[in-house]
Structure 1
Amino acid sequence: MSYRWPLDPADLFAERYSQMRRTGLPEDDVDALRAKVTEMWTDEAGGWVHEWSLLAAGYAMAGRHDLAALAYGWAKFPCLADDAKRAAFANQIVQYELAAADFGVEFDRGLLTLPHRGGTTELPVHLLSAPGLPDDAPVLLASGGVDTWKMDLHGIFGYFAHRTGMRVLAFDIAGTGESTVPMTPDGGADIVDGLIAHARSIGNGTVAHLGISMGGYYAARSGLAGAVDAAIVLGGPVEHAFTRPGESRFGMSGIIGNALGFDHPPTPEELAGRWREFSLHCLLDKDDNAPMLVVNGADDVHVPQHDTVVFNGRRDTEVELIAGAGHCATAKLAEILPRMVIWLTAITRTGL
């Protein structure tokens, strides 16, 4: 199930330009493409998926499979709403695997059968580890959000694999990427619980959870429930964000609607009805959480500050609201990622 909705590519470039650059794409190439793209959904000259795919194909021809994977990632952005987007995503997977030889980390792509709403679902996952990492290393679950998925965030996940001494198990949350089921509060949680159980079986039993954006929602849930040994929440919605879907910007309501499984643009009432069910209010009322690090930018247009500062005063919890940064504090990642690594390694090495 999927649908298109009115979306101005100029708005996406305005919001995501710095993200495009920070993932490693050459600035001149991004600038040239930005000048060409005039339509979001048209698969022809001037169309978003067409122009990004041409750029990606050029990188692939030159043997730069890493850049090709990034560009195809932007071609399929922000969701798999039509055949052209799905084709770009398939090409991204191919290029990502071709790039794996130069990752600098050991890489394995596997398929897990995980619990989902009384049944099961299959989910491709990526396992990243520093060369020579012992089999009994702790495991870090890691995911992005509704529009930026595991391959798009490879640079961050590889960084954690190199710096933490942990094996990184990267996945797409329900309703996104290679997941084949819509995002629901219970179904998405079932999948994460299954991943936690699997992670405990492949290392020394210690499991942490890193979630970015909507992935941060699931990391917050894991941490608040005490289901993992540590949790990092980067830009995660947890409570108030689920009360205001009509306020979403930069096409986010359409992105969320697709992730939730709608096959048509939902009315504000339809979207709000499903979205509010995700609130973690009940878990926030408890006091048996795992150690948690909660971070976001103070100027986030998607997630209200409340969903970060609500963690202030909780036991075993550190909170950072970063001034001068927006959603997921992407403008300050070079500063906050090393701090996250220091915090995470300190927690996991104590055996908590």
Structure 2
Amino acid sequence: MPYEFPVDHHALIEERSGQFLSFGLTPQDLEHARTAIDSMWADAPGGWVHEWSRLAAKHSAQGDHALASMVYGIAKFPVLANESRRRALHHQVDEYVKAAGGFGVEFERRVLTLPYRNTAIELPVHLFSADRRYNEAPVLLLSGGVDGWKMDMHPLAVAFAQNAGVTVLAFDQPGTGESPVPLDEFGDQVIDGLIAAARPLGNGKVGHLGVSFGGNFAVRSGLTGAVDAVINIGAPVTAAFEVANLERLLYGMADIVGNAVGFDRPPTQEELIAATLGFDRRDLLLSQSSTPMLVINGADDVHVPLDDTLIFQGRSNTDVHVIPDAGHCAVTKLPELTPMMVDWLRRRLAA
């Protein structure tokens, strides 16, 4: 079962304010949160979930289901550690589906049956398409990381579906959101199953866009040659899993990861290192993959060492961009970076 953990909610709001505003949060709602929230976990007035959910319900009552969904997404942030956050996720899904008519693209919610550890799992996914002619376009797998899930990636999903000539298949990576399995050594099987499902869904070509920890899975997809193009935004790859980096994780990130990998209590540092060691992809970097890869991160990332971006410099068929004056995943700059990413992917999947 997930667990609650100590976290300074004021510091968390400040650290994530740029991300929340880039998702579409209004400055007025952000200011309300700063003044109204006095507890991260209490399910009562002043509690994180209570105050964000109250704002979301207000937007829903006003008919703005897209904004309501986004605010419910903040309410469930950063982990589903209690019933109130699981309830917020349920409301987020409901509001998101209600808002789908205004997405500007065709939208479909499906549940895929995927092989996993000699059995099968059911994974809800979201499809975005310009015209729903799935078999005529490549498919782009899209996921966020341990605390930014498929619905939180909405602006990217719509932008690529509208402009990149792809069908976007958005999913929650293992250990997050609606995924039924933890973030463990078997997580790669889920990605392999998604790739296998994506090829016959589209025209046979598959890309993979991963943000933050989702980029770790995208990097594996590219380095193993499992997909035809990869965009990695802010992925932890090698240095992020070293002791020195795990020791300096801020804003509750160690416990966010601890929840994702399946602990029911705060792990020791040794336990967290052991649980994440399998996501160190340095062995895959020893070989040269022919899969085109675009690598992006902010120069001022507080979670992922810059080395995990720079390690891709000089590799064949790889473009690396370190964005100045930007933090983790360059989230505050993604709106201006998206046209470049869309153009890059369109050209690679059309080649």
- Fold conserved between structures, TM > 0.5: yes
| Contact kept? 1:136, 1:202, Cα under 8 Å | no
Q: Distance in 1 between matches of 2:149 and 2:2?
A: 17
**Deviation at residue 211 of structure 1 after TM alignment:** 0.4
Deviations 1:31-66 (A, max 9, x none): 122210111000111110000000011111111110
Q: State the AA in 2 paired with 1:75.
A: A
Q: Distance in 2 between matches of 1:130 and 1:67?
A: 22
1:139-150 to structure 2, matched below 5 A, reads 139-150=139-150
**Deviation at residue 323 of structure 1 after TM alignment:** 1.2
| Contact kept? 2:198, 2:206, Cα under 8 Å | yes
Deviations 1:88-120 (A, max 9, x none): 111111111111111111011011111222322
1:196-275 to structure 2, matched below 5 A, reads 196-243=195-242, 244-275=245-276
Deviations 1:128-171 (A, max 9, x none): 00136563111100000000100111111111110101000000
1:1-352 to structure 2, matched below 5 A, reads 1-131=1-131, 133=133, 135-185=135-185, 187-243=186-242, 244-350=245-351
Q: Distance in 1 between matches of 2:210 and 2:11?
A: 25
Coordinate RMSD, CA, aligned? 1.1
| Contact kept? 1:141, 1:169, Cα under 8 Å | yes
**Deviation at residue 213 of structure 1 after TM alignment:** 0.4
Q: Secondary structure at the match of 2:120?
A: strand
Q: Secondary structure at the match of 1:271?
A: helix
**Structure 1 runs of 4+ with >6 Å offset:** none
Q: State the AA in 1 paired with 2:184.
A: T
| Contact kept? 2:222, 2:289, Cα under 8 Å | no
Q: State the AA in 1 paired with 2:6.
A: P
- Percent identity among equivalent residues? 51
Unaligned runs of 5+ in 1: none
Q: State the AA in 2 paired with 1:231.
A: V
Q: State the AA in 2 paired with 1:253.
A: A
1:212–1:47 Cα change, 3 Å: same
| Contact kept? 2:134, 2:167, Cα under 8 Å | no
Q: Distance in 1 between matches of 2:175 and 2:229?
A: 25
Q: Distance in 2 between matches of 1:306 and 1:117?
A: 33
Deviations 1:205-252 (A, max 9, x none): 010000000000010010111100000000011111011322211110
Q: Distance in 1 between matches of 2:343 and 2:282?
A: 29
Q: Distance in 2 between matches of 1:277 and 1:227?
A: 18
**Deviation at residue 254 of structure 1 after TM alignment:** 0.8
Q: Distance in 2 between matches of 1:335 and 1:348?
A: 22
TM-score, structure 1 length as denominator?
Answer: 0.97
Q: State the AA in 2 paired with 1:296.
A: N
**Number of residue pairs matched by the alignment:** 349
